[in-house]
């Protein structure tokens, strides 16, 4: 209905008409904020915020704080409210100017994953090479014994962890006494500067018998005393024990294994 007022401006009578729209009781101003839009959407189905919250299993205080503007709400809540009130989440978030009806195909679509990759980082390959020492002896046994007298038999690329280790070197694995940890033909990387503790794989250099060159083994370190060196082999040859010992006066070096490359 309309209310008519008669006013006088500078001696001229003017008629002023104020029109009042009758509706369901919802606010007449255009909803410019997220809270206003949320309230407008809720009023279409529920007379109070508490009723809406209880009907849909939301915390009444949480929902009320969103509707009255005390707390902001994001996309996740907007999608939930949109589904309940049958409007679009984009409109609730202020992304659409006009109220849009709820569209299942749009609103329930799984969010697209955010990119988490970057351009490839340039890889610097090692330039340094390590010497490979040792070679198989005639009549090689399965225990992995090989001649280790300082003769270089090859060069291999240095792994990154040994780039700055001056005396690092490598050997080739002989025999199958350390299966499954090491297989015949594996390249074994050695860092002589690292301390050795029980359970470490090690390369040991042992003095040969009179007139014979030193030889090497790759085994698991157990302990070393003033009397002897005690080692463990995982897959001993037939007739040998898993634990082997060498007299201390025959042990030349015990160096830690820090890596391997499958042969």
Average pLDDT taken over every residue of the chain: 81
* Residue partners of 180: CB distance under 8 A and separation at least 6: 234, 235
Q: Evaluate if pTM is beyond 0.85.
A: no
Predicted confidence at residue 28, as pLDDT, reads 43
- CA-nearest of 206, 182, 213, 185 to 255 is 206
Residue with tokens 């790759």: 218
SS3 83: helix
Where is 259: in which H helix or E strand? strand 251-261
* Whether the Cβ atoms of residue 54 and residue 46 lie closer than 8 Å to each other: no
pLDDT digits (tens, 9 = 90+) for 36-90: 999 999 998 899 999 998 998 899 999 999 999 999 998 889 889 999 999 988 8
SS3 126: coil
pLDDT digits (tens, 9 = 90+) for 84-113: 999 988 888 888 878 777 665 555 554 556
């Amino acid at each position: 209905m309309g209310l008519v007022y008669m006013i006088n401006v500078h001696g001229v009578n003017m008629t002023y008409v104020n029109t009042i729209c009758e509706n369901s009781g919802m606010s007449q101003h255009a909803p410019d904020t997220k809270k206003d839009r949320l309230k407008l959407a809720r009023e279409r189905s529920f007379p109070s915020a508490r009723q809406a919250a209880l009907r849909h299993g939301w915390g009444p205080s949480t929902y009320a704080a969103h509707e009255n503007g005390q707390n902001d709400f994001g996309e996740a809540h907007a999608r939930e409210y949109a589904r309940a009130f049958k409007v679009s989440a984009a409109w609730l978030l202020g992304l659409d100017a006009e109220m849009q009806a709820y569209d299942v195909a749009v609103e329930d679509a799984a969010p697209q994953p955010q990119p988490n990759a970057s351009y490839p980082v340039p890889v610097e390959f090692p330039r340094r090479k390590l010497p490979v020492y040792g070679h198989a002896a005639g009549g090689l046994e399965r225990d992995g014994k090989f001649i280790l007298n300082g003769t270089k038999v090859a060069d291999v690329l240095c792994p990154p962890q040994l780039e700055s280790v001056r005396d690092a070197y490598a050997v080739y694995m002989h025999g199958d006494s350390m299966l499954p940890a090491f297989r015949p033909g594996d390249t074994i990387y050695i860092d002589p500067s690292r301390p050795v503790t029980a359970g470490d794989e090690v390369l040991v250099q042992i003095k040969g018998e009179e007139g014979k060159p030193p030889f090497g083994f790759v085994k698991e370190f157990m302990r070393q005393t003033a009397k002897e060196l005690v080692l463990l082999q995982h897959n001993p040859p037939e007739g040998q024990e898993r634990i082997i010992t060498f007299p201390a006066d025959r042990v030349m070096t015990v160096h830690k294994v820090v890596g391997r490359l499958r042969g």
